[in-house]
Structure 1
Amino acid sequence: MAKKTYIKAITEGIDIALAEDPKTLVFGEDVGKNGGVFRATNGLQEKYGVDRVFSTPLAESGILGMSIGLAATGWRPVPEIQFMGFTFEAMDSIAAQMSRIRFQYNGTKHAPITIRTPYGGGTHTAELHGDDLENFFVGIPGLRVVAPSSAYDAKGLIISAIENNDPVLFLENLRLYRSVKGEVPDDKYTVPLDKANVVQEGTDVTIIAYGGEVSEAQKAAKKLAKDNISAEIIDLRSLYPLDTDTIFESIKKTHRVVIVQEAQKMAGVGAQVASAISEGAIMYLDAPVTRVAAPNSVYPFPQTENVWLPGARDIEDAVREVINY
């Protein structure tokens, strides 16, 4: 087992899926010879050929429309949308078509499509390149949404997503691609698509996060520990469906919760988590549910994104607020 970057782990997972199933196809803008804009598919076309790993025109609706046709004829497509901000171009394919196939055919047909897309800020990108739009997708029945925060989970989840028979939106946090490293086995393994992970155990407060905000929660927890505040950190991993069992068990122990998301606060994943807690675990709380999120505005210019994005200090302040309630 060696230390690998988040993006290297994703590449390895896709490689394994291609090797195991000749019906797996990987494609998207610049995905072929260039290995994708971030090189997540680097070397795969050379290894598996242009018929299985190939570039497409810059047409997101075409990429996902083709994915539906391929899935309907027995293939297992792994399309890439270059940035999450461009998924709106293909929303009809996601919300009105691929996610409904299992229901339309009473479970006799499926759409085993894994849509990979980078998302999130912190890398000073242009407009539409740093958007967090997961809130638009977690309410679509039939679509799974996952967002790994570690290299280990990135590899295990991409393999699970590709092997799954329902469509999966696989969110890859931009700032984690090369900044996060972890121990990752060389061989195949899987991570469940519907199970949260307790990253750090604690007794005083539960911090729930996902994607790039998990590392921010860990930074905050280190500072809080200096004041003898013990934080338990839950990485959601799966945004839909939610693993409420893990969340509730933690709250039973800590009696306080802070929910963190990088996206805008309104109608976000954090709101759904808070709603689930109010329905299933409110009796265990000693303080109100507190949320940390970005402002309800469009993603800012690169010069101001560090102020706009939720960080460790924001999480720390929120925890102190619920501790002192």
Structure 2
Amino acid sequence: MTCRDALNQAMEEEMLRDQKVFIMGEEVARYNGAYKVTKGLMDKFGEDRVMDTPITEMGFAGLAVGAALAGLRPVCEFMTFNFAMQAIDQIVNSAGKTHYMSGGEVHCPVVFRGPNGAASGVAAQHSQDYSAWYGSVPGLKVVSPYSAEDCKGLLKAAIRDPNPVVFLENEMLYGHTFPWSQAAQADDFLLPIGKAKVEKEGSDVTIVAHSIMVDRSLDAAAELEKEGISAEVINLRSIRPLDIDTILKSVKKTNRLVTVEGGFPAFGVGSEICAQIVEGEGFDYLDAPVERLTGADVPTPYAAPLEALAFPDAPLISKAAKRALYRAQ
């Protein structure tokens, strides 16, 4: 099952289950979505529930928030989260804070979804990872799926959640095929927001990642295995809430921690994980400094050779894991 098809299936099932669920965004209806994630949904549910919008992110994000405040459950697609910067006031202030400012009286069950982070050859303005941006905001839940099962189970949970959820997908994973369990095929398949998954168990070093960096971390773990190094790979799934307990449990076992992400190094997801580990009991279990692997601290280059150097890959992750074990050459 591909991530694209898993997302499509999640939305179809939730629209069949709840008449209040609808989709809106640029080209989501007649064009089947810029990345074909919403393919066929307009034909099944009509243009009342799958709606093309004008090219005005601030405008249609505001419509989505208003619909959610009125009791509907909109799924608002951004063609890329880079364009959602036009709508960040609606996401952070209107969606994220209304429940608190109403004294808990008004819920805002909206999902903002779309591709996030670097793709390939889309340059500086279309390559940013917004995980840490939205992850810092009280009132928002922030999800970053990796696999097809992540996409289906977490999107269904996000649509049913009474809170605003920022759902950060990855363009390069849309066509990636993943194993598809019997459980995932069920209409009631849900994954809890705020719970990480141990993708590979290990005993020597903990590698924590999210989105496409999980894929590269698993590749690195496979190479490390050939050298007798057992790496545990954790797929965060959720940025906010952050499942620090699963990370801490792993660090207590391996005594070493490497974080991997595609965002900028300053004030990132890895920075938050590192802070929470060293500020708590995790510090006493570390036998080496925590190392953060991130995107380069520059606007993402357009030139392919430079772009390849701007983000962590499996060899770099392997090298960091070896450094944690004092085995780097």
Instruction: Find the counterpart in structure 2 of residue 68 from structure 1.
Output: 65
Q: In structure 2, how many angstroms separate the alpha carbons of the residues matched to 1:241 and 1:249? A: 17
Instruction: Find the counterpart in structure 2 of residue 309 from structure 1.
Output: 311
Instruction: Find the counterpart in structure 2 of residue 112 from structure 1.
Output: 109
Instruction: Find the counterpart in structure 1 of residue 186 from structure 2.
Output: 187
Instruction: Find the counterpart in structure 2 of residue 299 from structure 1.
Output: 300
2:17 matches 1:33:
no
**Gapped regions of structure 2 (runs ≥ 5):** none
2:40 matches 1:47:
no
Give aligned-pair identity as a percent: 37
8 Å CA contact 2:135, 2:142 repeated in 1: yes
**Gapped regions of structure 1 (runs ≥ 5):** none
Q: In structure 2, how many angstroms separate the alpha carbons of the residues matched to 1:200 and 1:103? A: 38
Instruction: Find the counterpart in structure 2 of residue 321 from structure 1.
Output: 323
From 133, 151, 154, the equivalent of 1:136 is 133
2:285 matches 1:284:
yes
More strand by share: 1
8 Å CA contact 1:148, 1:211 repeated in 2: yes
The letter of the residue matching 2:179 is G
CA shift, 1:108, in A, is 1.8
Q: In structure 2, how many angstroms separate the alpha carbons of the residues matched to 1:275 and 1:87? A: 28
The letter of the residue matching 1:282 is F
Q: In structure 2, how many angstroms separate the alpha carbons of the residues matched to 1:95 and 1:153? A: 24
Q: In structure 2, how many angstroms separate the alpha carbons of the residues matched to 1:205 and 1:127? A: 33
8 Å CA contact 2:23, 2:51 repeated in 1: yes
The letter of the residue matching 1:103 is Y
Instruction: Find the counterpart in structure 1 of residue 81 from structure 2.
Output: 84
2:153 matches 1:156:
yes
Q: In structure 2, how many angstroms separate the alpha carbons of the residues matched to 1:302 and 1:41? A: 31
CA shift, 1:127, in A, is 4.4
The letter of the residue matching 2:297 is N
CA shift, 1:130, in A, is 2.4
SS in 1 for 2:180: strand
What TM-score does the superposition give when structure 1 sets the normalisation length? 0.97
8 Å CA contact 1:206, 1:234 repeated in 2: yes
Q: In structure 2, how many angstroms separate the alpha carbons of the residues matched to 1:286 and 1:178? A: 39
SS in 2 for 1:77: strand
8 Å CA contact 2:206, 2:231 repeated in 1: yes
CA shift, 1:181, in A, is 2.3
CA shift, 1:186, in A, is 2.6
Q: In structure 2, how many angstroms separate the alpha carbons of the residues matched to 1:8 and 1:47? A: 15
CA shift, 1:129, in A, is 2.5
8 Å CA contact 1:84, 1:128 repeated in 2: no
Q: In structure 1, how many angstroms separate the alpha carbons of the residues matched to 2:216 and 2:144? A: 15
CA shift, 1:73, in A, is 1.2
8 Å CA contact 2:124, 2:299 repeated in 1: no
Aligned residue pairs: how many? 322
Q: In structure 2, how many angstroms separate the alpha carbons of the residues matched to 1:199 and 1:51? A: 40
The letter of the residue matching 1:187 is A
Instruction: Find the counterpart in structure 2 of residue 176 from structure 1.
Output: 173
Instruction: Find the counterpart in structure 1 of residue 96 from structure 2.
Output: 99
